[in-house]
Amino acid sequence: MLRNHSSATEFYLLGFPGSEELHHILFAFFFIYVVTLMGNTVIIVIVCVNKRLQSPMYFFLGHLSVLEILVTTIIVPVMLWGLLLPGMQTMSLTACIAQLFLYLAVGTTEFALLGAMAVDRFVAICNPLRYNIIMNTRTCNFVVVVSWVFGFLFQIWPVYATFQLTYCKSNVVNNFFCDRGQLLKLSCNNTLFTEFILFLMAIFVLFGSLIPTIVSYTYIISTILKIPSASGRRKAFSTCASHFTCVVIGYGSCLFLYVKPNQTQAAEYNRVVSLMVSVVTPFLNPFIFTLRNDKVIEALWDGVKRCSQLFRN
pLDDT of residue 69: 94
pLDDT, mean of residues 139-146: 95
For the chain, the C-alpha Rg in angstroms (whole number) is 22
Asked if residue 58 lies in contact with residue 44, where contact means CB atoms within 8 angstroms, the answer is no
> 10-307, superfamily in CATH?
Rhodopsin 7-helix transmembrane proteins (1.20.1070.10)
The closest alpha carbon to 59, from 6, 137, 111, 5, belongs to 137
pLDDT digits (tens, 9 = 90+) for 60-92: 989 999 999 999 999 988 888 877 776 778 888
Crossing angle of helices 56-84 and 137-154, rounded to 10°: 30
Show me where the domains of the chain are located.
Answer: 10-307
Say if strands 172-173 and 89-92 run parallel, antiparallel, or are unpaired: unpaired
- For the chain, the average pLDDT equals 82
Q: What is the pLDDT of residue 148?
A: 96
> Cα dist. 309→38, 51, 87 in Å?
21, 19, 50
Mean pLDDT confidence for 242-256: 73
Please list the residues that pair with 89 across neighbouring strands: 13
What pLDDT, on the 0 to 100 scale, is given for residue 262? Answer: 54
32 has pLDDT over 90: no
Q: Is the pLDDT of residue 264 over 70?
A: no
Average pLDDT over residues 189-215: 87
Higher pLDDT, 201 or 244: 201
